[in-house]
Structure 1
Amino acid sequence: MARPSLTRDEVLETAAGIVKQHGPTALTMRRLAAELGTAVTSIYWHVGNRESLLDALVERTVADLGEIRPAGRTPADRIVSVARALRRQLRDHPHLVAMVHERGLTERMFLPAQQALVHEVHGAGLRGARAAEVVRAVQVQVVGFVLVERNRERAPTQRPGEEELWDAETAEGDPGLARALARPVDPERLFVTSVRALVDSLLAQ
Structure 2
Amino acid sequence: MTRPNLTREAVLDAAADLVKQQGPRALTMRKLAAELGTAVTSIYWHVGHRESLLDALVERTVRELGGIRAVGHTPRTRLVSLARTLRRELLARPHLIAMVHERGLTERMFLPAQQALITETHAAGLRGTRAAEAVRAVQFQVIGHVLVERNRERQPVQRPGEVELWEAAAADGDPALARMLARAPDTERLFLVSVRALVDGLLSPG
* TM-score interval, smaller chain: over 0.9
Structure 1 residues 169 and 102 mapped into 2: Cα distance closer, same or farther (>3 Å)?
Answer: closer
SS in 1 for 2:173: coil
1:86 alignment counterpart = 86
| Aligned counterparts of 2:180 and 2:3: Cα–Cα separation in 1 | 58
Q: 1:169 to 1:26 in 2, by over 3 A?
A: closer
Name 1:21's counterpart in structure 2: 21
Q: Could you state the TM-score of these two structures normalised by the residue count of structure 1?
A: 0.95
Deviates more, 1:182-191 or 1:150-159: 150-159
Q: Counterpart of 2:67?
A: 67
Residue 142 (structure 2) aligns with: 142
Q: For structure 2, which runs of at least 5 residues remain unmatched after alignment?
A: none
The 1-side partners of 2:167 and 2:40 are apart by 61
Q: Cα 1:32–1:14, aligned 2, differ >3 Å: closer, same or farther?
A: same
Asked whether the 8 Å contact 1:3–1:42 carries over to 2, the reply is no
Deviation at 1:166, TM superposition (A): 2.1
Q: Deviations over 1:118-158 (max 9, x none)?
A: 11101100111210110001111100111111111111222
- The answer to whether residue 26 in structure 2 is matched with residue 32 in structure 1 is no
What root-mean-square deviation, in Å, do the aligned CA atoms of Structure 1 and Structure 2 show? 1.5
Equivalent-residue separation in structure 1 for 2:61 and 2:190 (angstroms): 27
Post-superposition offset of 1:178: 1.5
Alignment of 1:95-134 (within 5 A): 95-134=95-134
| Corresponding residue pairs, total | 204
Moved more, 10-19 or 174-183: 174-183
SS class of match (2:156): coil
What secondary structure, in the 3-state scheme, does the structure 2 residue paired with 1:85 have? helix
Following superposition, the deviation at residue 10 of structure 1 comes to 0.2
Task: Give the alignment's TM-score, normalised by structure 2.
Answer: 0.94
Are 2:162 and 2:182, in contact at CA under 8 Å, matched by a contact in 1? Answer: yes
**CA separation in 2, counterparts of 1:167 and 1:97?**
38
Counterpart for residue 171 of structure 1:
171
CA distance change for structure 1 residues 74 and 180 in 2, over 3 Å: closer, same or farther? same
Match of 2:9 in 1: 9
SS in structure 1 of the partner of residue 78 of structure 2: helix
- The 1:167–1:20 alpha-carbon spacing in structure 2 relative to 1, beyond 3 Å, is closer
